[in-house]
Structure 1
Amino acid sequence: MASAIRLARVLAALQGCAGEGREDDLILLLLEASQVASGHARADRFLYDHPDLAAISNDAEAVRRACAAKAGWPGGRHAALAVAHAFSTIWRKPSEIRGARLIGATGL
């Protein structure tokens, strides 16, 4: 979330510098924007490679980003989502979780 705010600020600064014709500052801000954007790509790739960790964390933002990630092969994305769904309690109703615990299912 903090990196999204940082990227929004950098983009606003880019627009301001472009409007004022400050080319020296534009170069520095473009470099900063590329570094922030590459961080997003690495994080998305990590969520694609490890959907189980995103699901176990029960972090709604991590699960949302794992679902929205377009990295890799589409079949791999579907497999990653299936793994995340199997490990996550975010998509399950509380009654399903309690029922699974009652019958002794593991991983819930």
Structure 2
Amino acid sequence: MGQIGSYIRRKEDSPKQSENNDSRRRIVRPRENNLSSFGIHELLSSRIPDAFLVHETKSSKYVDEDGDVANEFYLEENEGSHRILRKTTRNIRPQRAERYLIPRLHPDVPIVIIQIEK
């Protein structure tokens, strides 16, 4: 509570900080994308056959006639003096398959991933 107001008040009360803004520059280091630096695509394609990888999945979302996307759609109906939400399945269609950014292992892959020796 009051965090933004306190920050603005502190900034106005101390003009020395704003004058020395050039001397206190932030060090910004470029952040590499973990996927590209690690090379997960090359690793998966070189070590695991493509038949064991899943590249896309069926979406759990639906699209209505207006183009809205959601997991479920409800209609608001008046019953007497109060309103009720009822789940609808009319005029909605499943969204197309979603593509994974990183391929996943198929759940039925017959490969030992980690072997612990005792």
TM-score (norm 2): 0.24
Greater RCO, CA 8 A, separation 6+: 2
Q: Which has the larger radius of gyration?
A: 2
TM-score (normalizing by structure 1): 0.25
Q: Give 1 or 2: higher helix fraction.
A: 1
